[in-house]
Chains A and B, each alone.
Chain A
Amino acid sequence: MSKEWPLWEVFIRSQHGLAHKHVGSLHAPDGEMAINNARDVYTRRNEGVGIWVVRAADIVSSSPGDKGALFEPANNKVYRHPTFFPMPEEVKNL
């Protein structure tokens, strides 16, 4: 049965977290059942307060082969990294 169902990626917003975080994937015939299944598969230990599901086929992904062109130029521009500023203790989640 599951072979005919499309794959969905599951994102859970945790109790304390700010943004939805990818937790895994599952199979389901449609979005409503994907939410139900995500609830059953990924929130059994009270992990979340919100669920997103998205068809894996709808995700546009960068190609591993483009890694160099996409990410390496940032490496040698040290002035882009905010490492010169001391962070105040109170500032979290930055």
Chain B
Amino acid sequence: MLDKATYVRRLGDNALILSQRLSEWCGKGPALEEDMALTNVALDLIGQARLWLAYAAELEGAGRSEDQLAFLRDAHQFSNLLLVEQPNGNYADTLVRQFFFDAWHYFLLNELAKSSDPRIVEIALKSIKEVTYHVRRSGDLIVRLGDGTDLSRRMVQQAVDQLWMYTGELFSSDAADQAMVQEGAAPATEMIRTQWLQHVQEILGEATLQTPPADAWMQSGGKQGKHTEHLGYLLAEMQFLQRAYPGASW
């Protein structure tokens, strides 16, 4: 039960933290159309985060609500992937982060839709519709910018190279992951990795970009609460209101 709570909370944390990151672009996108597209994705993710965190709160049975999980935990209690907490950087950085995440998210949700846990199936099926669009959009933009001008190509390649070391963690597997796999509640991470790598190589190839070596050295720790220094600042902004005015509501 606690393994499942951990697993589900991680899914919620990923969606929540990436959504907060994307929201930082609100009003500052490179074009009105991009601004709205990106904040739409942020809204989709916050909806998914609520579903996962509400379920995680039920599973842990400690009387906490989804809001308390989101706004009253400190950085070391968050279990999101390091990838999603990385700063927005330039637009290429944001898009590459999104592309890596969306591809992983899409393949994972497709497998979670076959989970032995009906609640996970329900949330996965609801999310897949949104994520199918996300993965199509981010892949399309990577191809356009990679196979675009010299400048856009250089910037996307740079972002790919810089963010690559955070992609290993997408497929890391600890006790909680293994317990879920044994229960038939979640897919083996190795299987998602194969699908992800194939998709990423295909899109990067089409974008005339180099895929870094799959066996490169990878960062990890986010799932276990060991984060980069960026997460604290993100939480300070996201949690400010609830910290300053506990229990405040609309």
Contact = CB atoms under 8 A, between A and B. Distances in A.
Interface of A: 1-2, 5, 26-29, 32-33, 36-37, 39-41, 44
A9 to B, nearest CB: 14
A48 to B, nearest CB: 14
Contacts of B247: none
B33 A40 contact: yes
A28 B144 CA distance: 12
A10 B32 CA distance: 15
A44 B36 CA distance: 10
B36 A41 contact: yes
Contacts of B36: 37, 40-41, 44
Contacts of A5: 31
Contacts of B37: 36-37, 40-41
Interface in B22-80: 30-33, 36-37, 40
A29 to B, nearest CB: 8
Taking residues whose C-beta sits less than 8 angstroms from the other chain, chain B's interface range is: 10 to 19
Interface of B: 30-33, 36-37, 40, 133, 137, 140, 144
Contacts of A37: 33, 36-37
Contacts of A28: 33
B33 A27 contact: yes
Contacts of B33: 2, 26-28, 37, 40-41
7 contacts: A2-B30, A5-B31, A29-B144, A36-B137, A37-B37, A39-B133, A44-B36
Contacts of B31: 1-2, 5, 27
B198 to A, nearest CB: 23
Contact of A41 (B32, B140, B144): B32
A1 B144 CA distance: 14
Contacts of A33: 140, 144
Contacts of B133: 39
A6 to B, nearest CB: 12
Contacts of B144: 29, 33
A59 to B, nearest CB: 20
A41 B36 CA distance: 6
Nearest to A5: B31
Given A36-B137, A36-B140, A1 B30 contact: yes
Nearest to A40: B37
